[in-house]
Amino acid sequence: MDESELLPHLFRTEYRKLVSVLCYLFGIEHIEIAEDIVSDTFLSATELWSLNQIPENPTGWLYTVAKNKTKNYLKRNALFEQKLSADIKYNTPKGEEIDLDLSTKNIADSQLAMIFTVCNPHISSESQISLALNLLCGFGIQEIADAFLTNKDVIYKRVNRAKSALKEARIKIEQPTISEINNRLETVLTTLYLLFSEGYFSTAQNVLLRKDLCAEAMRLTYLLIENEATNKPAVNALFALMSFHASRFDARTDEQGEIILYQDQDETRWNQELIEQGTYYLNQASTGDQLTKYHLEAGIAYWHTHKEDSPEKWESILQLYNQLLMLEYSPLAALNRTFALAKANGKEEAIREAEKLKLIDNHYYYSLLGYLYTDLDNAKAVRHFEKALSLTSSHAVKIALAKNIDRLMSPANPQTQLAHVLLPRH
């Protein structure tokens, strides 16, 4: 790795570990102290490494400096030492000097405890995602703002409100009990699912940032798999779902960021290792007797890694959507189910089902109707695509819809499948 890239890389990979360990040590009420110590550690690295040679073991150097700065802080801050250190979660015998535990096990334990702390119903889903990106993934405020397509002030306030809410609720950072896992795992999985979605389904043009969001969601989900207590079928199903989606990430847009239709994607750009990984974890998820939305969505994503347009594929996808809607109805899932219905049973039946949805403020709805009416009533198809165009704010989607309208209005009038990729889960 180039020297200029080393420190930013270490910041992304090690900042989150150090913050988690220190928060686990100090408690959520002293989260700013943990962040200050870690930030100061990286500031020292920036200053010293630019003047001197980069140490032989950069990660070990950071850990040693972080340990020393923690010890110095505790010695220096008498108030902290006298009033608060009794509450610190460490196993050092009384009278002995604290030794910050940066073992692989304690880092993993700390991050697991932090996941369950951040994904807490005391704060909103948006705040959970922002705080997870900041504390668990090492994203800066500007990066999070870019991911949410908003400004720094909004994210700064959101993160600080979330921290304050956790402090006021006196949430403890500790290993979750079996009861807490059973009660709160769904909240954790929802946060990780939404975090992945921010990357995979985002309309932001920063592809590198979007990939990083997906990678971090997958990393945190895998942490749950690695822990015996949280290695549940639903966790495996979610990881499978993420793996299948991530396998097609590079094939979904061209170099200009424009959407590539599913049927036009270059299959050789699909990551076969991720597809195999998804298949493995979907099989792992088949144990137990609980069927979750993650199982069903992973099954749908699995079939989308099969390019051929076979009747078996679309009938399987249709039945999975039927189960998903019975389990947990959502308008977007209903839209996707209607597309699968068109592929399995024909457009006429799908039009009747689609028009029952009446999602008149949703551009996906009109994109779907535009596709369904194509070659049945092209004038209607154009009107629906134009309505979708007026409702979307996504530059990439606007370009795709405009191209579709142009095709329909051209003399050649080739059939188009654009609505497929404009639906949210493809």
Q: Tell me the residue type at 126.
A: E
Range with the poorest average pLDDT among 167-171, 251-255, 293-297: 251-255
pLDDT, position 422: 58
pLDDT of residue 338: 96
pTM of the full structure: 0.87
**For residue 215, what are the CA distances in angstroms to 190, 265, 288, 308?**
16, 22, 28, 28
Q: Does position 164 have pLDDT exceeding 70, yes or no?
A: yes
Distance CA 57, CA 318 (A): 53
Phi, psi of 259 (to 5 degrees): -65, 135
Both structure tokens of 228: 């015996």
Residues 6+ apart with CB under 8 A from 77: none
Tokens of 23: 């928060």
pLDDT digits (tens, 9 = 90+) for 202-236: 766 677 778 888 999 999 999 999 999 999 999 99
Most confident of 198-202, 277-281, 304-308, 411-415: 277-281
Q: For residue 87, what pLDDT band results from cuts at 50, 70 and 90?
A: low
Angle at 242 between CA 239 and CA 244, to 5 degrees: 110
**What pLDDT score was predicted for residue 82?**
60
CA–CA separation, 20 and 87 (whole Å): 17
Residue type, 66: A
Q: Check: CATH 1.10.10 for 1-91?
A: no
Q: Quote the tokens at residue 410.
A: 């051209």
Task: Kindly list the domain boundaries of the chain, sorted by start residue.
Answer: 1-91, 103-230, 232-288, 343-422
Structure tokens at 253: 């847009």
pLDDT > 60? residue 426: no
CB burial readout 137-146, b (16+ within 10 A) else e: bbbebebbbb
Question: What is the torsion angle, in degrees rounded to the nearest 10, for the CA atoms of residue 24, residue 26, residue 32 and residue 37?
Answer: -90
Whole-number average pLDDT of the chain = 87
Give per-residue pLDDT as tens, 379-421. 999 999 999 999 988 787 888 899 889 989 876 655 544 444 4
With helix as H, strand as E and coil as C, how does 300-363 read?
Answer: HHHHCCCCCCCHHHHHHHHHHHHHHHHHCCCHHHHHHHHHHHHHHHCHHHHHHHHHHHCCCCCH
Which has the higher per-residue pLDDT, 205 or 268? 268
